[in-house]
Structure 1
């Protein structure tokens, strides 16, 4: 993916189920080719793509502040 195709819309500090601090980065992609993959699994617990109108369903409670930013 081209760097210019991404726009950061939100960052979120939270704790994982084990209580460890984490940060989530949320981007809007204007275009891409292929399928997303986690190129750094030793640094990143997961990677997922969601249409803007489905973010709240995918992320649950944490998404309430994010959804308006991703429009």
Structure 2
């Protein structure tokens, strides 16, 4: 389940980034007056939706189809 844990951590990071952008804006300035521009909200939302979809696919219980040989002739 290492993949699932990794995806969940990445998703949490995206949620944190989204919250920071909504609260503080996309541009953050540190004490040395340097600016850090984070990804825009649209890109963060795309990342969140992608990761949520991947996690949903991992957790869904879809049965695999069996393949049967076909005789020709």
Question: TM-score band (shorter)?
Answer: under 0.3
Task: Give the TM-score of the pair, scaled to structure 1.
Answer: 0.27
Q: Which has the higher helix share?
A: 2
* Greater relative contact order (CA < 8 Å, ≥ 6 in sequence): 2
**TM-score with structure 2 setting the length:** 0.27
Instruction: Specify the structure having the higher radius of gyration (Cα).
Output: 2
